[in-house]
Amino acid sequence: MSDIPLLDVRGFGLEFRTRSGVVHALENVNLSIRKGETVGLVGESGSGKSVLSYALLGISDRAARVTGGSAVFGGLDMLKAGEGALAEIRGREISMIFQNPRTALNPIRRVGAQIEDVLARHATVRKVDRRARAIEALRQVNIPDPERRHAAYPFELSGGMCQRVVIALALACRPALLIADEPTTGLDVTTQAGIMDLIRERAAETGMATLFITHDLALAADHCDRIAVMHAGHVVEEGPTAALFAAPRHPYTAQLIRATPAAGVALDALAAIPGNLPDLRRDDLPVCRFRARCERATAACDAALPPISAGTGHNVACHHPRADADRASGAHAPMSVAAA
């Protein structure tokens, strides 16, 4: 695995101008992903995980405005690149699996034709060869009878089958980076495992990097090399998966882990995270957006947060990170990580 980041995000900020005010959605986000690496982006719903992925691809809502920072992919700052340059990268160099496969697919176009559309736009595949390549893409994601499924409409397929089609679309041009945004939402446990194993196998075969966005910490623990934890538009902690689960440094990370079901942990041992995410429309947001929910908060938390240097070790943006004695107790880890 190369030490040079394939994607390197530094100081990234984004806001939305809405009728009810300016939403300060992302602030000073640092994140890096190396070739062949799987990085998990975890946090509660509303933390900004999907917003970040859309912004990187240049597909944010029109109300969005970048407030600062950079996002360099293969030497190109995607935040400064024009739409033409981004259009060349999307689908070819960077692909995305969206949360809802049924809304990601065109309901009135056959799934095989949709894969052929991607090949026509982003790959040097002759028209006469596109059908065979699309069928092969379906076969590679373990869709049974791919020749027949090639002619199917999305409504004729199950949710798990539609998700596999979306993955086939995303992998058709063999991208260098895959952004998987909650790729197993709404699927049963068996199908979830199959989808994640499929993404991992394809990454191993091609050296593809993966940004895995999820609120499921157990899945992230099983499939990610590193994890970045987001809270209210901030990356608050980042580090190797085993180290982060064994000894979480940020109070929010520890609370997330305590609130996550795990094998061998009784339900009454789970603890809900107190409070709610802050209203990001406020002009007086605290420097630390977790301050009102944190049992370790003091007046010192009003100072600028320590910066996170992503990909350099186990980093935390907190004035009062959990000490070794604190981190060794009070949090359970998913079975696979705890046993690693």
In the chain, domain spans: 37-46+84-93+175-338
Question: Does 3.40.50.300 match the CATH number of domain 37-46+84-93+175-338?
Answer: yes
More reliable by pLDDT, 295 or 187: 295
Choice among 182-186, 209-213, 292-296 with the minimum mean pLDDT:
182-186
Please write the tens of the pLDDT for every residue from 138-177.
Answer: 998 889 999 999 999 999 998 889 989 999 999 988 999 9
Please write the tens of the pLDDT for every residue from 214-269.
Answer: 988 888 999 999 999 999 999 999 999 999 999 999 999 999 998 887 766 667 76
State both tokens at 121: 């736009």
Q: pTM score, two decimals?
A: 0.89
Q: Which helix (H) or strand (E) holds 254?
A: helix 251-258
Please write the tens of the pLDDT for every residue from 252-266.
Answer: 999 999 888 776 666
